[in-house]
Structure 1
Amino acid sequence: MSSERTGQRVLVTLRRMISAGELAAGERLAEIPLAERLGVSRMPVRMAFRELEQEGLLVRAGARGFAVRAVSPEQIIGAVEVRGVLEGLAARLLAERGASEAVLDTLKTCLKEGDALFENGCFAEADAPLYLDLNIRFHAAIIQASGNLAIQEALSRNDHLPFASVKALAIDRNNLAAEYKRLNYAHIQHHAIVEAIAAGQGARAEALMREHANAVLRYTELDPAREGVAILRGS
């Protein structure tokens, strides 16, 4: 087995162990015992620790160690709801103050890229990083153009919870047809949000953005521990 496949297997296995409670919240993790338990070298375990820290599933414990983060599904749901409120406020402020041509051009560029991504009626695994990138730029443009630094700071703190940030995208590589429906729906919402912002409809822009965030809770049923699920992160 290649080192890349070994690393992916270790990452998925550790996600599953955390999700199932085999690695309990607060439990300190060490490379050597886990490597021996999984029958691999220390390197893929070390790399998996770093990735799981980025995903918010592990936290630093001491100079070199890690521990399983205690996060409940209710916390994640709450974080997504908070993101919807904050991003909704940002969209309303932007619509009411009037979006500049530069901001609208940035948003419309994201829409065009999304249109091209979904125009074939299917979604490939290679499309996921492209969607993640345009989605990050779309949301960042609205938040930054709102002119409210407090919103940016609050979102930065909120985004530390796993899967609550637009900078993280979970996809099921074994069911890309469902992923097409899910992400295309989100892209259609992007179009409606831009239309409301461009028209100066603050209340509508806010409602659409909140609905957009909360749609994650209704249309995503991805278990990060399930085989075939990949977690992508953007910068």
Structure 2
Amino acid sequence: MELKIIQNNLSGEAYKKIKLMILEGVLKPGEKIIQEKMAQSLGISKIPLIQALSVLQKERLLSYNHRKGFTVRKISTHEFHDLLDLRGVLEGLAAKRMAYNLNDDMKKHLLGFMNDFIKYRANNNYKKYSELDKKFHFYILENSGNSYLPHINNSFNLLILIYSKGFKSELDASLDYHKMIITAIMEGRGKEAAMLMEEHFEKAKVYF
């Protein structure tokens, strides 16, 4: 990953880079942010770095202790389940809206997701399946027709918090729900798509 950033809007760019590192698992839960090393990697001074870290702390992606400094925040089982509940509601609404506003381009993308899910499951390729899972859920939110849904999701960092937890679902169960959700959306069954999405996240709790 190329970390160097242009000397422009330094704290904002540092914020984006570090946030991405958390999402991609480069920075793991409980890991301490070594400021000197991070600043050097990003090619910036400590002042914009601290500004970026402070924003990430407010967003609950980082924790701060005056002795340990900034660390990637860990979340509890209870909080993890709360996040799954919230995602189920948000993405259930997104799936419902998408089903009622579907176009040919969306159908093409959904079929692509389904085919790739089946392929990666058949190959037992968890890494590729997990990456596709993230893209799929982002796609549902972004194409719901409700501009607030992806904004709310990003504001609360729901996907980042969940995936930074190291969450892994059982592939067969996950594939079954993805297929049912995609089919319901493509057939315009919005209420069923919403119900399946919420059920998908509820069932996922047992794999934590």
TM-score by length of 2: 0.64
Within 5 Å, which residues of 2 pair with 1:32-181?
Answer: 58-59=62-63, 65-67=69-71, 69=73, 71-97=75-101, 99-119=102-122, 123=124, 127-160=125-158, 163-165=161-163, 169-171=166-168
Residue deviations 1:160-206 (CA, integer Å, cap 9, x gap): 586425x87535xxxxxxx6xx1221111111011111111111010
Structure 1 contact 96–202 (Cα < 8 Å) conserved: yes
Structure 1 segments (4+ residues) deviating >2 Å: 56-62, 67-73, 157-165, 167-171
Query: Which residue identity does 1:138 align to in structure 2?
Result: F
Alignment correspondent of 2:173: 185
The alpha carbon displacement at 1:30 in A equals: 7.8
The alpha carbon displacement at 1:93 in A equals: 0.8
Residues matched between the structures, number? 164
2:198 is the alignment partner of 1:200: no
SS of match in other structure, 2:145? coil
Distance 2:160 2:139 in 1: 22
Distance 2:141 2:179 in 1: 16
Percent of residue pairs identical: 25
Query: Which residue identity does 1:101 align to in structure 2?
Result: D
Residue deviations 1:201-227 (CA, integer Å, cap 9, x gap): 111010011111222212x13xxxxxx
The alpha carbon displacement at 1:103 in A equals: 0.8
1:138–1:67: structure 2 CA closer, same or farther, 3 Å change rule?
closer
Q: Root-mean-square deviation (CA), in Å?
A: 3.7
Distance 1:168 1:111 in 2: 25
Higher strand share: 1
Q: Which ranges of structure 1 fall in alignment gaps of 5 or more residues?
A: 1-10, 24-28, 32-41, 172-178, 222-235
Q: Which ranges of structure 2 fall in alignment gaps of 5 or more residues?
A: 1-24, 42-52
Distance 1:212 1:159 in 2: 19
Distance 1:30 1:193 in 2: 39
Structure 1 contact 88–207 (Cα < 8 Å) conserved: yes
The alpha carbon displacement at 1:70 in A equals: 7.0
SS of match in other structure, 1:66? strand
TM-score by length of 1: 0.57
